[in-house]
Structure 1
Amino acid sequence: MDTFAVCPMSSLPLEILLGILYWLDGKAILRCCSVCRLWREAVESSGELQYMIELWADGLVSGYAGHLSPAEKLEKLHKWRRAWQRLEWTSKTVCPIKENPRAYELVGGVFAQQNTWPQTDFTAIWLPSAETSTKISSTANIGIESQDFALDPTQDLVVFLHKDPDETGNFECRTLSTLTPHPLAFSPRLSFDLRDGHFRRIFLQIADDVIGLLFRAQASLRLVLFNWRTGTMLVDLVGPHFPPYVSDFALLSPGAYLLACTSDIHFPAPSPERAGAIHIYTFERTHGNYPTPVATLQLPDLHPDRYLQRVIAHSGPICAHPVLGPLFSKSNDKRICVISLAYDHEEFYTVYVHHRYFEKYLALADDEMPPTIPWDEWSPQNSRMLPGRHLLWLRYAHGERVVGPADPEHPNRVEVLDFGLTPSRPGFDASSAMAPNTISAGTLFTNDITTCLPYRRISRDLDQPHLLFLIDQDRLIGVPEAVNKLIVYAF
């Protein structure tokens, strides 16, 4: 077909054609430019369609635009994009926090923390942005002895985890704004039998209408998944149903999760079992059932007498809706997974993988035997492996950006890795993307490791040192050695 031939729908009035195109996403709009000359000219003439294309290019979804024109929205988007490319924040604010919180979260522009002595207090800080100031809500006693919590400000939701003396575990579903029972919850309290009284190594997450909890009981691991809106227990797994040596758990979406596993030391090296693996599962969102394994991604083979001690798989939070307030929000589909590997002899490496690679297997899930993919087959083109460092706090990833841990050799420096590159977009600077890198096998791995996932490395020196850094869509957050305040750099 001639790219510039007139297609039949071109006889539509321009207003109707544009009205149809407004229902498409940015990628589909770009494809429409190849249908015919008139369609291309229609897209190029519409500031709103150009804005939608640019949102798609940055992996963003539209938020609240107020009375801004398409040109004004484009200008704000381009300014935000340039600021992150150069780490040029527009404001710096200091927010006091209680020292060394028992638990904390950073989701949707809200930093929340709780302490449990002498009672469980809870503080939520709506962090300042380039256009808004700080808002703090603090409750001295929430009325329960919370073990941990998770939140989603886009649903006005906070879930507290606590246990009763009768060995019952509970999810307490409350509004973030008032800490009263959440009106959309099936019940303010969702309970499950603990079977023994132990809660250790708790991993608690929210993804839309799903609460996920992995914890170690006295005898074994246990995974509990609830739909908090219907009150349905979706998954309840104990020891025999897990792969060996589970180190971490992460919800990939409201219908899928991964388990990260360390070395099975009962197998000799080199062997896949000794190397560790990432196991991917899907589950039903409406009724209880066993999860379905869909793929196993093996980690690098190791030399004899070496082993993987710990794996942490971390991504930015999943929000059910666009964040209230900003002009745009990061899409849940555009996220990077940071897989931190801690080996014996204090060797640390980090593997970065786009969630879209995991989703490839979710889309192919069926009743057949799930594939096991060797490291050398999946990692070179779909990941980036770099030397790592010991991590103190989570929430160092958001969307496709990752802020590095503080570097002892450069304590005043902040460094961001950006995996959200779109080489096909006008103005893309190919020289800014890092070339493939190779990690020498040394005494740890059986072979050299070369990985190619494109990314951009950006750094800037600050006027003070930090213990660690956090990140969200519009902010870098530094935490000093005393852990008594947040230094918020807003973009």
Structure 2
Amino acid sequence: MHKYVRMAGFFGLSEPPPIPQSLRNPRGFRPFHFAPDDRIICFYLDFWHVANGDHILHPHALMFTHSSTLSNYAKYLSVVPDGQSRRIPWEAWGPSNARWMEGNFDSSYYSYVHGSRFAYKLPSSYDDTGETQIIRMFDFNPYAVRHSAKVVPAENGEEGTDADGLRAYEEDMTSGITHRDVTSPSVVSAGSFFVDDVHSSLPYREVARAVQYAEDFSILIDEANIILLTEDHTMRVHTM
């Protein structure tokens, strides 16, 4: 990172919080849940620097990684002398285990993390006219991406089949849902706040949904649904 760049904000999100074994109710056990190692952690980073006396704020940056990636390095903490820090180079762990993104990601109310999923509303999609607003979700579940990679799309724009059977299409005009798999590397170019290009390639499945809503709303998500909440406590539930 450039010496003139300062970090204005840094925090991580990972929901729902793990429940200690001692507090779990065996009779209320859910048949499906996110394993602790499969949870995604989303780090929000805000950067700024001073130029000609002015504070210039850079676009938000997000970094995603699985909790297992970080826990694998916890063993090194015990061998670090008190008062000293241990540096693990980005190249040693980051490029294949993380995904960097830049953009206007609002961390207050308009985005949410649950399990392996991150969802947010495109800020520019709300204009008080009741036109279509866009919700975008990133799913870092490796099994979802792996399954999608096995199927081959048809060329007629309707449906495709392969050895695994029927495949839903990339764009469903009736439901307003589009999706794609992102497996190619992302690059945060040098010069903004990093000295060198930063490459990352943690695969994910991106799903976008158009909703007709005349009000501004915040977002909650669970394993299957997206919940839209307005200031007057109105709630809508959509599937992705």
TM-score of the superposed pair, with normalisation by structure 1: 0.35
Letter in 1 for 2:107: L
Cα gap change, 1:305/1:356 in structure 2, threshold over 3 Å: closer, same or farther? Answer: same
Kindly state the Cα deviation for residue 329 of structure 1 after the two structures are TM-superposed.
Answer: 1.9
Kindly state the Cα deviation for residue 410 of structure 1 after the two structures are TM-superposed.
Answer: 2.3
The secondary structure found in structure 2 opposite 1:356 is: helix
- Given candidates 357, 361, 379, the residue that maps to 2:69 is 357
1:489 equivalent to 2:238? Answer: yes
- Given candidates 413, 417, 442, the residue that maps to 2:134 is 413
Instruction: Tell me the alpha carbon deviations over residues 412-467 of structure 1, each in whole angstroms, 9 at most, x when there is no partner.
Output: 11111011123896664487233111112233221221111111111010111543
> CA contact under 8 A between 1:316 and 1:395: conserved in structure 2?
no
1:339 equivalent to 2:43? Answer: yes
1:402 equivalent to 2:118? Answer: yes
Unaligned segments of structure 1, at least 5 residues: 1-300
Between Structure 1 and Structure 2, how many residues are aligned? 188
CA distance in 2, matches of 1:487, 1:354: 30
Kindly state the Cα deviation for residue 409 of structure 1 after the two structures are TM-superposed.
Answer: 2.1
Instruction: Tell me the alpha carbon deviations over residues 10-57 of structure 1, each in whole angstroms, 9 at most, x when there is no partner.
Output: xxxxxxxxxxxxxxxxxxxxxxxxxxxxxxxxxxxxxxxxxxxxxxxx
Cα gap change, 1:422/1:466 in structure 2, threshold over 3 Å: closer, same or farther? Answer: same
Map 1:425-464; keep pairs closer than 5 Å: 428-429=149-150, 432-464=181-213
Cα gap change, 1:408/1:368 in structure 2, threshold over 3 Å: closer, same or farther? Answer: closer
The secondary structure found in structure 1 opposite 2:100 is: strand
CA distance in 1, matches of 2:27, 2:61: 33
- Given candidates 311, 316, 329, the residue that maps to 2:15 is 316
CA distance in 1, matches of 2:143, 2:92: 24
Cα gap change, 1:323/1:401 in structure 2, threshold over 3 Å: closer, same or farther? Answer: farther
CA distance in 1, matches of 2:27, 2:114: 13
Which stretch shifts more, 323-332 or 406-415? 323-332
The secondary structure found in structure 1 opposite 2:71 is: helix
**Which is greater in Rg?**
1
CA distance in 2, matches of 1:424, 1:484: 35
1:385 equivalent to 2:89? Answer: no
Which stretch shifts more, 379-388 or 429-438? 429-438
CA distance in 2, matches of 1:462, 1:401: 19
Instruction: Tell me the alpha carbon deviations over residues 212-250 of structure 1, each in whole angstroms, 9 at most, x when there is no partner.
Output: xxxxxxxxxxxxxxxxxxxxxxxxxxxxxxxxxxxxxxx
Q: RCO higher in 1 or 2 (8 Å CA, sep ≥ 6)?
A: 2
CA distance in 2, matches of 1:424, 1:471: 19
Unaligned segments of structure 2, at least 5 residues: 49-55, 127-132, 152-179
Aligned residues: percent identity?
23
The secondary structure found in structure 2 opposite 1:432 is: strand
Kindly state the Cα deviation for residue 391 of structure 1 after the two structures are TM-superposed.
Answer: 1.3
Kindly state the Cα deviation for residue 395 of structure 1 after the two structures are TM-superposed.
Answer: 7.5
Kindly state the Cα deviation for residue 367 of structure 1 after the two structures are TM-superposed.
Answer: 3.8
The secondary structure found in structure 2 opposite 1:377 is: helix
The secondary structure found in structure 2 opposite 1:453 is: coil
Cα gap change, 1:408/1:394 in structure 2, threshold over 3 Å: closer, same or farther? Answer: closer
The secondary structure found in structure 2 opposite 1:349 is: strand
CA distance in 1, matches of 2:57, 2:27: 39
Which stretch shifts more, 310-319 or 425-434? 425-434
The aligned residue for residue 375 of structure 1 is 90
> CA contact under 8 A between 1:319 and 1:332: conserved in structure 2?
no
TM-score of the superposed pair, with normalisation by structure 2: 0.67
Kindly state the Cα deviation for residue 379 of structure 1 after the two structures are TM-superposed.
Answer: 1.9
Tell me how large the CA RMSD over aligned residues is. Answer: 2.9
The secondary structure found in structure 2 opposite 1:358 is: helix
Cα gap change, 1:426/1:436 in structure 2, threshold over 3 Å: closer, same or farther? Answer: closer
The secondary structure found in structure 1 opposite 2:106 is: coil
CA distance in 1, matches of 2:67, 2:110: 18
CA distance in 2, matches of 1:423, 1:488: 22
The secondary structure found in structure 2 opposite 1:309 is: strand
Map 1:178-193; keep pairs closer than 5 Å: none
Letter in 2 for 1:305: Y
Cα gap change, 1:328/1:360 in structure 2, threshold over 3 Å: closer, same or farther? Answer: same
